[in-house]
Amino acid sequence: MAGLRTAAAPPIPGASGPIACASAPLEAEEARLLLRALADPIRLQVIEALGGGERCVCDLTADLGLAQSKLSFHLKVLRETGLLADRQSGRWVYYRLQPQALERLRGWLAALAASCTAPAEPCG
């Protein structure tokens, strides 16, 4: 049985600074990549399907009604953004959510929302 694999987006030079949250600061560029990954309806279906726990690719293809090649593309995008982890057991590949990625995004959004409530400085 192989180990668990995850991939995280590398930092992008020139990205604006981090917004702190509970686990670790989330850079704006990483937030953009996570939001972009979650913006696709198929990837949202995958995230929802994995909400109940680890699933085999064969089960996901059947449950979501997708060709394996199409599902594999979307799983790769989600894994590369750190939203999913996978492991191989024999010839089967299993995927599961990485809740810390979702928590970091939630924290970033909460910090952003909190900053919106601050009153504006007077002009001039």
- Report the CATH number at residue 59: 1.10.10.10
* Predicted local confidence at residue 90, as pLDDT: 95
Domain range for 60? 28-108
Crossing angle (nearest 10°) for helices 68-80 and 57-64? 120
**Structural domain includes residue 34:** yes
- Pick from 82, 83, 104: nearest CA to 25: 104
Q: Is residue 10 part of a domain?
A: no
Residue 73 lies in a domain: yes
Tokens found for residue 22: 């509970």
93, part of any domain:
yes
Q: Is residue 122, in this structure, part of any structural domain at all?
A: no
Confidence at residue 9, expressed as pLDDT on a 0 to 100 scale = 40
**Contacts of residue 12, Cβ cutoff 8 Å, sequence gap at least 6:** 27, 29
In tens, the pLDDT along 47-102 reads 999 999 999 999 999 999 999 999 999 999 999 999 999 999 999 999 999 999 99
Mean pLDDT of the chain, nearest integer:
83
Q: In the chain, how many domains are there?
A: 1
3-state DSSP assignment of residue 79:
helix
More confident residue, 11 or 79: 79
Report yes or no on whether pTM surpasses 0.75: no
- Asked if residue 21 is part of any domain, the answer here is no
φ and ψ at 60, to 5 degrees?
-65, -40
99 in a structural domain: yes
| Residue with the two structure tokens 């020139």 | 14
